[in-house]
Chain A
Amino acid sequence: MADDAPARRPDLTRRAFLTAAAGASAASALAGCAPTSLAAPRAAAAVDDPPTAGAVPVTLRVNGKEQRIRVDPRTTLLDCLRETLLLTGTKKGCDHGQCGACTVHVSGRRVNSCLSLAVMHDGEEITTIEGLGTPAALHPMQAAFVAFDGYQCGYCTSGQIMSAVALLGEPCGPEDADVKELMSGNICRCGAYPNIVAAIQRVRRGA
């Protein structure tokens, strides 16, 4: 089933209102400057854009569902997921590939969605935290993070879990140190690292 773009907005929610309000204030604060990537989808129609740089059609398969959308070429995969498809489980931390909060799977491999353009992934399979499990049926990694208290504020958690799930299919030694090395691209400001490693090891050992 395909959704035609731009993605339809659900009834106004608190989150949608705050997002729109933040976008508007960011746009006014940046008047006269190059638009930020956050505001990119709306900026695509600006009259001073060169005609060749308009919105381009992209088809993504996100969490098993085909999404036909139009995006400004500047739109990162992260902003596309959050702002266009309203999948806000994926978080924006540093926006420069340094923190891992934006980790999603592309064709089954973990990537930093902030350093990737949505248009690069035409026709590809994207999995976000929303596609991993549901509150009623958690993915084993999600359940392990709950069981081991693998978070505090929770902002990095979706990226941590997406990374950890991908790790299960990668070459990785058996020790905690091996897990720490392969999870080093996910920063946790609260310092929940010991519990994160414990959660991952529980899943790896199938206990």
Chain B
Amino acid sequence: MRTFEFTRASDPAAAVRAGAQAKTAQQGADVRFLAGGTTLLDLMKLNVETPARLVDINRLPLGSIEAMPDGGLRVGATVRNSDLAHHPTVERDYPVLSQALLSGASAQLRNMATTAGNLLQRTRCMYFRDTAMPCNKREPGTGCPAIGGSNRMLAILGTSEHCIATNPSDMNVALAALEATVHVQGLKGTRTVPIGEFHLLPGPTPERETVLEPGDLVSHVTLPPPVPGSKQLYLKLRDRASYEFALASAGVVLTVASGRVTRARIALGGVGTKPWRSPEAEAALVGQPAETASFRRAAEAALQNARPQSENAFKIELAKRCLTHALATAASS
């Protein structure tokens, strides 16, 4: 691990000022905020991340979960994943989020990992993690050996000719289905970013993964008020029963009345270069009978633009079955 200066922010504004000294908030940032450390320290040991300065934000007042006047929920940036998953309000009103969090990583890692850190979790693409290999995300312009290489775990939606890396987060999928809002404190004040706009498609610039600029500090995430009577589920398919990244996953928030779907929010994980909300699947489902044939049609719509790589064509059918099963299970719950 390269040497760095360790500092502790006294308040969020100080953290923002320190972060603003970086040239970029994206890959290669020379100033990094340190929360749980589970992604950052892992990548620093690999020399994938080589910040000159770490700003510890763990003692900032960003660690609370609070009910909001509108009935929604405010989740601080440094709330640990385990605390969020087991929070009574989350278990009751946002079970898809609780399930997604508990399906990710291990109990130890969930005790460390934070809301903002999980939002910014980096891809597990082996070429990104290995500095001996070319990688457009890590070193722009060097190429993408994953295309035509080892890509079984990688994305089939949102890819470009420059990058096919998967966003590995489970939490992000649930946040997409719940239409969460990310709150950012920056040099020019605070702003909000809908979860669907927070992560960027790789396109020609895979090194840019989010809308964050130098100094931007994710302060908290808000969830809209729960939809009365909604049925929610997170279903994750993987190579092992536990402690493994998704091959395909689905987060669904469904409202059914008189046997028909009246509202659907659908997001997929393990298959997209970003947390993959599917308006196509939602449009295909609303107004339809809550039955398997409808769910399968929604799944077909969700994957209609999928582009398989040399080793992961199986993910197209797997994701379809995952979503179909998630919708059927949620609808019958």
B54 pairs with A34, CB closer than 8 A: no
A50 pairs with B242, CB closer than 8 A: no
Looking at the assembled complex, report how far the CB atom of B128 sits from the nearest CB atom of chain A, in whole angstroms.
14
Q: How far is the CA of A181 from the CA of B56 in the complex (A)?
A: 31
Q: Contact mask B17-47 → A, CB, 8 Å, 1/0?
A: 0000000000000000010011001100101
B45 pairs with A180, CB closer than 8 A: no
A111 pairs with B86, CB closer than 8 A: no
Q: How far is the CA of A50 from the CA of B51 in the complex (A)?
A: 13
Looking at the assembled complex, report how far the CB atom of A170 sits from the nearest CB atom of chain B, in whole angstroms.
7
**With known contacts A103-B108, A167-B107, A49–B3 Cβ distance under 8 A:** yes
A74 pairs with B1, CB closer than 8 A: yes
- CB proximity to B under 8 Å, residues A149-202: 163, 166-167, 170-171, 180-186
Question: Does B105 sit within 8 A of A, measured CB to CB?
Answer: yes
Question: Does A53 sit within 8 A of B, measured CB to CB?
Answer: yes
**With known contacts A50-B3, A117-B6, A119-B6, A100–B108 Cβ distance under 8 A:** yes
A112 pairs with B108, CB closer than 8 A: yes
A171 pairs with B86, CB closer than 8 A: yes
A34 pairs with B107, CB closer than 8 A: no
Which residues of B sit under 8 angstroms from A112, Cβ to Cβ?
A: 38, 108-109, 112
Q: How far is the CA of A58 from the CA of B255 in the complex (A)?
A: 53
Question: Does A116 sit within 8 A of B, measured CB to CB?
Answer: yes
Give the number of residue pairs across the A-B interface with Cβ within 8 Å.
91
B111 pairs with A53, CB closer than 8 A: no
Find B3's partner among A36, A74, A110, A115 (CB 8 Å cutoff).
A74
Question: Does A52 sit within 8 A of B, measured CB to CB?
Answer: yes
CB-CB nearest in chain A for B43: A96
B106 pairs with A50, CB closer than 8 A: no
Question: Does A88 sit within 8 A of B, measured CB to CB?
Answer: no
User: Interface size of A by Cβ–Cβ distance < 8 Å?
Assistant: 39
Q: How far is the CA of A60 from the CA of B58 in the complex (A)?
A: 16
Question: Does A56 sit within 8 A of B, measured CB to CB?
Answer: yes
Q: How far is the CA of A72 from the CA of B54 in the complex (A)?
A: 13
A73 pairs with B4, CB closer than 8 A: yes
Which residues of A sit under 8 angstroms from B108, Cβ to Cβ?
A: 97, 100, 103, 110-112, 163, 185
Looking at the assembled complex, report how far the CB atom of A164 sits from the nearest CB atom of chain B, in whole angstroms.
11
A185 pairs with B1, CB closer than 8 A: no
- CB proximity to A under 8 Å, residues B1-16: 1-6
Which residues of A sit under 8 angstroms from B58, Cβ to Cβ?
A: 120
Q: Contact mask B104-128 → A, CB, 8 Å, 1/0?
A: 0111110110000000000000000
B4 pairs with A120, CB closer than 8 A: no
Q: How far is the CA of A180 from the CA of B1 in the complex (A)?
A: 34
- CB proximity to B under 8 Å, residues A92-110: 95-97, 100, 103, 109-110
Which residues of A sit under 8 angstroms from B111, Cβ to Cβ?
A: 109-111
CB-CB nearest in chain A for B52: A50
- CB proximity to A under 8 Å, residues B126-182: none
Question: Does B243 sit within 8 A of A, measured CB to CB?
Answer: yes
Q: Contact mask A114-137 → B, CB, 8 Å, 1/0?
A: 011101100000000000000000
Looking at the assembled complex, report how far the CB atom of A76 sits from the nearest CB atom of chain B, in whole angstroms.
7
**With known contacts A73-B5, A181-B242, A117–B107 Cβ distance under 8 A:** no
A53 pairs with B4, CB closer than 8 A: yes
A120 pairs with B107, CB closer than 8 A: no
Which residues of A sit under 8 angstroms from B41, Cβ to Cβ?
A: 76, 115-117
Q: How far is the CA of A73 from the CA of B5 in the complex (A)?
A: 7
A34 pairs with B5, CB closer than 8 A: no
A34 pairs with B47, CB closer than 8 A: yes
CB-CB nearest in chain B for A185: B106
B243 pairs with A116, CB closer than 8 A: no
Q: How far is the CA of A167 from the CA of B108 in the complex (A)?
A: 10
Please name 9 pairs of A and B residues whose Cβ atoms are closer than 8 Å in the assembled complex, sorted by A: A36-B1, A37-B1, A49-B3, A53-B5, A116-B41, A119-B56, A120-B58, A163-B108, A184-B107
Closest 7 CB pairs of A and B: A185-B106, A184-B242, A73-B6, A184-B243, A53-B3, A52-B5, A109-B111
